[in-house]
Amino acid sequence: MVLARIAAAIDGVNDWFGRMVAWLTLGCVVVCFVVVFLRYVLSIGFIWLQELYVWQHAAVFMVGAGYTFLRGGQVRVDLFYSRMSERGQAIVDLIGSILFLLPWLAVLVLTSVPFVLSSWRILEWSSQAGGLPGLFLLKSIIWLFAALVGLQGVSTICKSLLVLTGHSALVPARPGTGGQG
Each residue of 1-35: pLDDT tens digit?
Answer: 899 999 999 999 999 999 999 999 999 999 999 99
Contact by Cβ (8 Å): 17, 70? no
- Give the predicted TM-score (pTM) of the model: 0.87
Confidence band of 42 (pLDDT split at 50, 70, 90) = very high
Q: For 91-100, what is each residue's pLDDT tens digit?
A: 999 999 999 9
Question: What gap in Å lies between CA 181 and CA 177, rounded to an integer?
Answer: 9
pLDDT on residue 101: 95
d(CA 50, CA 1): 49
Q: Using 50, 70 and 90 to split pLDDT, how confident is the model at 158?
A: very high
